[in-house]
Structure 1
């Protein structure tokens, strides 16, 4: 069951559980959003919408986004320079 919509922040639309995925999809892949990360997607949605698990739902959605995974840069430290091995005598 959905929580009481009156318990949310003022001037924001309460989103029922069944509609959260569509709202997140709009906020993450919309025409002007262009696959922002978790923080920017949450900030965009919080301008207008509210539901209790918004942050967790957005985090889960963005981590499962295939386009974001393909475009994300490598987090690993670059490999060091190669050093030649001494020639055996």
Structure 2
């Protein structure tokens, strides 16, 4: 995580990995006591979806050590999904 200018009244922050971050801020005017505030930021990986013929192409930025599961279905109902690849924790990678 890095701030573009941590001393500015308005600044930008960037995160290198998805996750839940708690940021603690402090401010002082030199006369009164220091004021503190905290904010929780949820950083997610952006996903884009595009149609290619009868297929949907789902893509996202990769993140180191992120696990995923890919399934396909002709219909969006329960129990109709076919596992294509699985890299979830505790499971060996599977591919048909």
Shorter-chain TM-score category?
A: under 0.3
Per chain length, whose mean CA-contact separation is higher, i.e. which structure has more relative contact order (CA < 8 Å, sep 6+)?
1
Pick the structure with more strand per residue.
2
Pick the structure with more helix per residue.
1
